[in-house]
């Protein structure tokens, strides 16, 4: 099974920030990145941390939503709740044999990066303030297989590239 991480990452590694109420949020508005995320993950299991689920507010449609949390009492109707990455991967494999997606946040990306074999990164060509960052990774262990440029325009405040990386097998 393909274990894929999907994230939008600013030039300085930022993937999110807390809003004025302390709720996780994205510091940018890039509608075509939202569309890419939806099109890429629809029909597949998605694994996220509790804070990411809090930011979404509810499970995403047309996907099996799996939430990793340390909180044994956490509940979210429409989502499968687990307490470790291993449990999440097991749940996802029961639903899908092809590909699953890790969708955040920072701690979950860091846990899953060592077992991932695909990265779908929206590389944003602008730095943003934030308190959540994508984990550093050794690009010599990954091969870029595609890159599509998207210029800034009246709907997108920054230019970005959709980039797909595959782990190089040793």
The enclosing H or E element of 119 equals strand 118-124
Residue numbers of the domain that contains 118: 1-43+105-169
Whether residue 80 is found in the same domain as residue 161 = no
Q: What is the CA radius of gyration of the chain?
A: 15
Quick one: average pLDDT of 116-140? 96
Whether residue 110 is found in the same domain as residue 163 = yes
Q: What digits encode the pLDDT tens for the residues 88-110?
A: 999 999 998 899 999 999 999 99
pLDDT at 22: 78
Whether residue 7 is found in the same domain as residue 61 = no
Whether residue 49 is found in the same domain as residue 11 = no
Quick one: average pLDDT of 56-62? 95
Q: What is the CATH number of the domain that holds 26?
A: 3.40.430.10
Q: Is residue 79 part of a domain?
A: yes
Whether residue 127 is found in the same domain as residue 163 = yes
Residue 170 has pLDDT above 70, yes or no: no
Whether residue 18 is found in the same domain as residue 90 = no
Q: Which of 62, 95, 128 is the last residue of a domain?
A: 95
Q: What digits encode the pLDDT tens for the residues 2-22?
A: 999 999 999 999 999 987 777
Return the number of other C-beta atoms located less than 10 Å from residue 72's C-beta.
Answer: 7
d(CA 158, CA 167): 28
Whether residue 37 is found in the same domain as residue 118 = yes
Q: What is the mean pLDDT of the chain?
A: 95
pLDDT at 19: 77
Q: Is residue 51 part of a domain?
A: yes
Whether residue 21 is found in the same domain as residue 75 = no
Quick one: average pLDDT of 71-81? 96
DSSP assignment, residue 13?
S
Whether residue 39 is found in the same domain as residue 57 = no
Domain count, the chain: 2
Whether residue 38 is found in the same domain as residue 49 = no
Q: Is residue 100 part of a domain?
A: no
């Amino acid at each position: 099974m393909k274990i894929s991480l999907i994230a939008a990452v600013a030039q300085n590694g930022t993937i999110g920030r807390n809003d004025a109420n302390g709720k996780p949020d994205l510091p940018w508005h890039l509608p075509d990145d939202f569309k890419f995320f939806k099109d890429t993950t629809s029909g597949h299991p998605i694994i996220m941390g509790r804070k990411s689920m809090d930011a979404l507010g509810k499970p995403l449609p047309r996907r099996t939503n799996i939430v990793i949390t340390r909180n044994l009492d956490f509940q979210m109707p429409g989502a499968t709740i687990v307490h470790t990455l291993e449990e999440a991967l097991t749940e996802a494999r029961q639903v899908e044999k092809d590909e699953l997606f890790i969708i955040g946040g920072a701690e979950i990306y860091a846990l899953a990066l060592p077992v991932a074999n695909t990265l779908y990164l929206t590389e944003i060509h602008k730095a943003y303030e934030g308190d959540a960052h994508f984990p550093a990774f050794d690009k010599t262990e990954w091969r870029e297989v595609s890159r599509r440029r998207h210029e800034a325009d009246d709907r997108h405040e920054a230019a970005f590239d959709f980039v797909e990386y595959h782990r190089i097998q040793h």
